[in-house]
Structure formats: C-alpha cells, structure tokens
Structure 1
C-alpha cells in the first residue's frame, strides 16, 4: 500500500512539471509538489503566481490519493486542483493549517466535481509519451514534430524502423490513449487510412487515426 502511494506521488510530480511554466488554472502556476508525510496517503501541490517564492503568497492543497478502495489518478488530481482553486470554497477550520509558512488546505475529493481534462492536457500526454518513451518502446516510433490542426485533430510527425520517411499521423486528443500508443507502430502502415496532403511538405503521407 505504501509503495502504491509513492508511485502515485512520482507520477503526479511528473505530470505537474509542465505547470511550472504553463498555468494550471487562469494565471496560477504550480510552485511545488510535496509528498505528504508517510502517515498521510496524499500529495500536496503548491500553487501561486509564476516566479513567486514568498510562502505567504503561496497555497498548498493536500489531496488524498485514495477514495475508499480506489486510487486517484494523476489526471484526477489535476481536475480536483482546478476545481478547488476556482471560485469560492469554504474550508472547515480542521482542514486549514500551515506548512513551511504556506497556508495548507485539505481538499476532500469525494465532495469536489473535478474539472475535465482539456484538449491540451490530452495532447501533452500523447506528446510526452512519444517524446520520452519507455526503454522497451524506444526506436519503434520516434516523434519528429507535431502541429495542432484544430481542436479535434493533432498531427504527429513520426518515423519508424518499419516505414520509410516521415509519416504524419492525425489523432484525436483524449480517449483510449494507451491503446492507441501501443498500436501506433502497426497503424502507420495501414494503406486504407493513408493519403497524401499536398499542402503539407513536412511528411510523405498522412495516416488518419482520428476515428481509431
């Protein structure tokens, strides 16, 4: 159980790195991710203005990582944080304290309607998996570039050991990403999905995976 929480904290820290530079919500950025003390199955995320170091201007949100028998995913934590940081929320006195000079608010995920993951969130997940593949996936497919075509279409520029040249794969952010990423090497060679985009000089052909 302890290791399960530790692994979740690792994954959450990795996901939230992006929000040091890109806002988590409105103009608020992640200024820290803290593993809660061992007795608390939670993560603490520090939010504030970009570049702010003053503890008095930062807020730490403690988010439990377990609801009943279920673990919150890193994506769940992002949704809970966005909701907790939007609008006015009244916290009972026993859920407000301080840590390291910062206000610490203990969030109850079961009572929060988590904000949905955005298109950009899903796109980042795809791009990060392709740019930093696991050792066993390395070299099967490489990310050479990407372009947001519209809200529902992300173009991935890829190469592969099995297919010559640079292939563009159009995907829809969101959905069954794990399955799509696992199947991607074989999908790049499916001729019936393939066309040529004469307006795009950056690839030899395009594979449409938006309905996959």
Structure 2
C-alpha cells in the first residue's frame, strides 16, 4: 500500500504483511531470546555476563560483558541462523568465552561501542549443558504453558544426585501429587515432555514412594526418555 504525499511512512510493525525471511529471522531471534533469559541473573562463563540479544539480518547477536567494573569489555557475538540449535547456544558461547580464539581479523568489527565478532559455529565444539541447565529446560517446558492455568500440571521439582530430575505433578483426575523420575538428558525431548501427563499415569507405572513424603505415588520414566 502506497503513502500519500505529505503523509509519514508507516511505523515499523504496522505493514500488512511480513516478508517470509523476516518472519523466519524473527522466530529464530525470539527463540534465542527466550533461551538466554535465564542468564540475565547468572553468568554465561566465569567473569562473563549476558547484556542482551540483538536481532540482525539472518543472524542473532549476543552481547556479553567480560570482566568487572572499569576493566570490563563488551563483545557482540554474531551467530548465523540455522548454524547451531537454540538449545546448544549457551554451550557454544561458553566454548568461545573460555577457549582459544576461533575467528580471524576479518570477522571483527565494532557496533554501538561493542566489539563485534562473527562466529563460525561449524568450527566450534560447544560445551555440554550442565545438569542445572538440562533441568531448567525440562521444568520450563512443563511450567510455562500452564503459567496462568487454574489447574497447573507441574507443582514442584527436585534435582537428584543420581542424574535424575524428580517432577511433582498433579494427577489428571483426583487429588494428591504424583512424582515422576526422568533422566537429565543432554537434549530433552519436547515431544516426550509434552506426553508426560499420560506417561506418568500409564497402567502399572505408579508405585508407592515411602522415602518421599512430597508425593503419593512415584513413576519411574527413565526407560521412556
């Protein structure tokens, strides 16, 4: 749609349609933003804090502050879309921030007072996700969709020392609380997490749990994940 003489151009976001590539870029950028939100209140790596996630054409840029106070330096790491899974992105950044340099001088620039570094994920071996990160992924997948629901499914969790995550959930029909032990997989299956309500209550799956007073029955789901 054209603009009449003397009229200002439409504000960003008010156009009738969005180009397919823009839509794909925005979906990827939103996914990365959600994935990295957790690190606003923690560290990506020792002495390294997340400062932001910035959209760029065909890529996402992650702003990181390295160091403390007056000695801190801000970097902007550019990662092309599709080069690494959103789930593995924190591990990629940890490898970059703690390992040897894997970029050339032609990959370096400056944007908004930050040193821009264009990464090549195919050259980088991402660090494995720690247990806390794997637990966070599973718990968020179960908790966020029902954040405003009157009958939430997930009501608690416990990280176990045996590599398991115990989830405390409400039964689909009836009172009480059920427990479910799932392994802290390196890459949790979203499909299996979505099926958890039915998996927990599979016939013959639930057993008494005398050592845990926080659930009435316990399901061992280690064979399903």
TM-score category by the smaller chain?
0.7 to 0.9
Structure 1: which 5+ runs fail to align? Answer: none
The 1-side partners of 2:204 and 2:152 are apart by 20
1:193 and 2:205 correspond = yes
CA contact (8 A) 1:97 1:104 kept: yes
RMSD of the alignment, in Å? 2.5
State how 1:25-64 maps to structure 2 within 5 Å.
25-36=45-56, 40-48=57-65, 57-64=73-80
Unaligned runs of 5+ in 2: 1-20
- Count residues with an aligned counterpart: 203
Partner of 1:66: 82
Match of 1:116 in 2: 128
Instruction: Map 1:57-96 to 2 at 5 A.
Output: 57-67=73-83, 72-89=84-101, 91-96=103-108
Q: SS at 2:31's partner residue?
A: helix
Offset at 1:44? 0.6
- Give the match for residue 148 of structure 1: 159
* Structure-2 change in CA distance of 1:22 and 1:102 (3 Å): same
Per-residue CA distance 1:75-134 (angstroms, 9 max, x = gap): 132222121111220532221111111111111112111222232222111111111116
Aligned-partner Cα distance in 2 for 1:110–1:192: 45
More deviation, 2-11/172-181: 172-181
Residues 146 and 154 in structure 1, CA contact (< 8 A), matched pair in contact too: yes
Aligned residue for 2:119? 107
Q: Which runs of 4+ in 1 moved over 3 A?
A: 49-52, 138-141
Relative to structure 1, the CA distance from residue 163 to residue 173 in structure 2 (aligned partners, 3 Å threshold; closer, same or farther) is: farther
Q: Structure 2 residue aligned with 1:164, among 145, 170, 175?
A: 175
